[in-house]
Every structure is written in structure tokens, then in C-alpha cells.
Amino acid sequence: MTETRRGLFITFEGIDGSGKTTQMHRLAARLREAGHEVLETYEPGGTPIGVQVRRILLDAANQELCATSELLLYFACRAQNVVQSILPALREGKIVLSDRFTDSTLVYQGVGRGLGTEVVLALDRICCQGLRPDLTLLVDIDLETSLARAHARNRTLRQADHAFSETRMDDQAADFHQRVRKAYLELAAGEPQRVTVVDGRGDVASVEQAVWNAVAVRLGKLHV
């Protein structure tokens, strides 16, 4: 349970192509250089079982997946990741960095799919054992940049001859992604203590510095 944990839980959020994954890896490297033990994880995925569920969720061939199944599968991944990977690492005092967590479900399924935030929060209570991020970095970019980056990435994946195309979510209409971005910004405005918005349009090094500044404040506060 969370009351026995000693580590720090930091999540990265943002619309597709925001650059959050690159930023998370850079933060991990910097924290390790500073002597911290770091676990990097991601959702959907993060565990061998989660990786199998990720495939169902993101395979562009699965067009018939209904919104409720989608919601439950994201939480199936998360429940597994919390129990198998995140909580044990936090108990060992590690800093856990996660590329997406429940905020993604709040904005993509709760708002984007219109399932509502209540059902997402109810599933979070069942699946996450009270685990909440200590700090969330929302890497924000405009929709045009997001879609251009996501499409370039997907082209590269297709050329690399992946067994399947991970684009089911990216392929949603532009207004879906617009709703998601707006919901992220509203979520951040409602929880300024936890969520720091980082402008993702700058070059990688300047975004990295903004991320580091936010994390350094938090590390100082928690004396980790």
C-alpha cells in the first residue's frame, strides 16, 4: 500500500507526439547521474502481460473494440503494472517514472470517448490501491505539431515492418485529439500542486531543462 512507500512517483502526460517519452528517458538519465535509483515504465504496457494487452489496444486492425472494453483494458494493464512493478519499486525507495498513468484515461476515455470522469476514478480506486503521482509533467504542444510527429513516427514504424501497426488511437479524428488536449489543460489548471505544464514546442534541451527544474523543486521538497 502507498503508506509504506518511500520512493517518488512521477508521471509524464501529453497528447501523442508531444515528446514526453524522449523527455522521460532524459530525466531518468539525469536522475541516475545524480545517484538516484530509477524505474522507467509506460502504459499501456510496462509488464509482460501489459505488453500483450497493449497490442490489443493499439493494433489498428482492432476497429471493433468498443469504448468500454478499451477502458477496462487500459485499467487491466495499469492494475498489473501497479502490483507487479510500480509499488514494489516505490517500496524499495526508487524514483518511478511512468510514461502515462490514470490522467491519460481521464482525458482519452473519460473526455475523448465521453465515458465521464466518474467511471475512470472508480476504476482507479479499484486498480491503483490509492497510488497517485507525486508529480505529473504535462508536456503540451499544439495539435498540428502533435499529429505531424505522430504520423512521422507511425510511418517509421511501418517501414520498420512491425508485425502490426500501433495506430488505432493516433488514427482518431482531429477533434478527438483536440478534446483530449483541452481536457489535459483543464486537469492541470484544477491540480496545480501536482501537475506542471511544460511547453513542449521548444528544442529538446530546453524542454529537458524545464522538466528538470520542476523535478528539482519536488526532490528538494520531499528530501529524497
Q: Give the contacts of 94 (CB within 8 A, at least 6 positions apart).
A: 7, 36, 37, 38, 39
Burial of 221 (0-12, 13-18, 19+ CB in 10 A): exposed
Among positions 23, 41, 105, 196, the unique one binding ligand TMP when judged by CB under 6 A: 105
Cell of 182: 483541452
The count of other CB atoms within 10 Å of the CB of residue 191 is 12
Among positions 8, 169, 210, 215, the unique one binding ligand TMP when judged by CB under 6 A: 169
Strand residue runs (E) in the chain: 8-13, 38-42, 95-99, 135-140, 195-199
Among positions 16, 124, 140, 208, the unique one binding ligand TMP when judged by CB under 6 A: 16
Contact set for ligand TMP, span 39-58 (CB under 6 A): 43-44, 58
SS3 state of residue 199: strand
Q: CB of residue 154 vs ligand TMP: minimum separation in angstroms?
A: 10
Stretch of 79-87, 102-110, 137-145, 204-212 contacting ligand TMP, by CB under 6 A: 102-110
Residue 80 makes contact with ligand TMP by CB under 6 A? no
Residue 108 makes contact with ligand TMP by CB under 6 A? yes
- For Cα atoms 118, 119, 122, give the angle at the middle one, nearest 5 degrees: 85
Q: Which is nearer to ligand TMP, 146 or 219 (CB)?
A: 146
Residue 133 makes contact with ligand TMP by CB under 6 A? no
Residue 146 makes contact with ligand TMP by CB under 6 A? no
As a whole number of angstroms, the distance between CA 136 and CA 168 comes to: 25
Q: CB of residue 222 vs ligand TMP: minimum separation in angstroms?
A: 25
- Binding region for ligand TMP (CB under 6 A): 16, 43-44, 58, 74, 99-100, 104-105, 108-109, 169-170
